[in-house]
Structure formats: C-alpha cells, structure tokens
C-alpha cells in the first residue's frame, strides 16, 4: 500500500505542477501582451511626435523660402519700377527732342 500511496502522491504532485505551469504560462502571456500593448502605445506616440516635429520643420522651411521669395520679388519689382521710371523720362525727352527738332 505504501507504493500505491506514493504513486498517488506523485500523480497529485504532477497534476498540481501541471496546473501551476498552465497558470504561470497564462500569467507570463498576459504580462507579455500588456508589455507589447504598452510598447505599441509608446512607439506610436514617439512616431507621432517625430512626424509632428518633421511637419513643423517643413512648415518653418517653407515659410522661410516663401519669405525670401517675397523679399526677392519685392526687390525685383522695385528695380523694374525704377527702370520703367528712368525709361519713361528718357522716352519723354526723346519725344520732346523729336518735336522740337
């Protein structure tokens, strides 16, 4: 009887060990899933922050390029107005010279 009792105890210990292993495996899987979800959230936040920073940098560069283009266009327009005014005076002088000649 002693051997049978030891076999039963061994079977019971084996069943308990198996149940504990399943519970522990479920716990580990749940922890891994939680960690993965948390990592996904963190990576998504980080990616969004990087994208926002890149968008802001692009907007800043775009604004700077537009500002430079406006300044250059204004300068060219002033130069053209000045040239037109000078040529206008020349044209008036030539016409008056032709009329008085």
Position 4 pLDDT exceeds 90: no
CA of 92: how far to CAs of 56, 62, 96, 98, 101, in Å?
53, 44, 6, 10, 14
Q: How many CB atoms lie within 10 A of CB 96?
A: 10
Answer yes or no: is pLDDT of 90 > 90: no
Which three-class secondary structure state does DSSP give residue 1?
A: coil
Q: What is the mean pLDDT of the chain?
A: 93
Number of C-alpha atoms within 13 angstroms, CB side, residue 72?
6
pLDDT > 90? residue 97: no
pLDDT on residue 1 = 64
- The tens digit of pLDDT for each residue in 17-34 reads 999 999 999 999 999 999
| pLDDT per position as a tens digit, 68-79 | 999 999 999 999
How far apart (Å, rounded) are the C-alpha atoms in residues 70 and 33?
55
Helix intervals (H) in the chain:
2-100
Name the pLDDT band for 84 (thresholds 50, 70, 90).
very high
Handedness of CA 33, 35, 36, 40 (dihedral sign): positive
């Amino acid at each position: 009887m002693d051997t049978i009792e030891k076999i039963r105890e061994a079977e019971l210990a084996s069943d308990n060990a198996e149940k504990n292993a399943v519970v522990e495996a479920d716990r580990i899987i749940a922890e891994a899933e939680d960690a993965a979800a948390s990592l996904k959230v963190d990576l998504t936040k980080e990616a969004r922050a990087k994208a926002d920073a890149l968008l802001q940098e692009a907007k800043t560069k775009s604004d700077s390029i537009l500002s430079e283009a406006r300044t250059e266009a204004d300068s060219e327009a002033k130069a053209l107005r000045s040239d037109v005014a000078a040529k206008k005076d020349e044209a008036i002088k030539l016409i008056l010279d032709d009329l008085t000649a």
